[in-house]
Amino acid sequence: MTTPIELGAAKKTFDWLKNGATYVFRLAKRIATLEERVTALEDALKNAPADACPYCGERALRLSHQSSTAMGTHPKRWTEETWTCGKCNKEYLERIPI
């Protein structure tokens, strides 16, 4: 014959196992979702990590021209780089201090 105490202990053990299995299932589902997101990011940045375009926000900004001469006077010298977006075809001029 089974006593009420034994039934309560069995129910608690069953609930504990059920909660553990649910946690493992949720964790596995979350890991699978994160793996899909990482794979999508890797595919997007496959050839070379591009900078984001300041105009459209797409990661398609590529260096089109780099000035080989330094401009400005001695304490404030810089070079210029021209970046072109592959999506919106706008140019972005960036000055880099030397």
pLDDT at 50: 64
Give Rg (Cα) of the chain: 29
pLDDT tens column, 11-36? 888 899 999 999 999 999 999 999 99
Average pLDDT, rounded, for the chain: 86
Burial class (CB in 10 A: 0-12, 13-18, 19+), 45: exposed
Q: Which two tokens stand for residue 45?
A: 């940045």
State the DSSP string of 33-60: HHHHHHHHHHHHTSS--PBPPTTT--S-
Q: How far apart are CA 21 and CA 72, in angstroms?
A: 67
pLDDT at 2 over 70: no
Query: pTM (2 decimals)?
Result: 0.49
pLDDT tens column, 49-94? 667 888 888 888 888 998 877 787 778 888 899 999 989 999 999 9
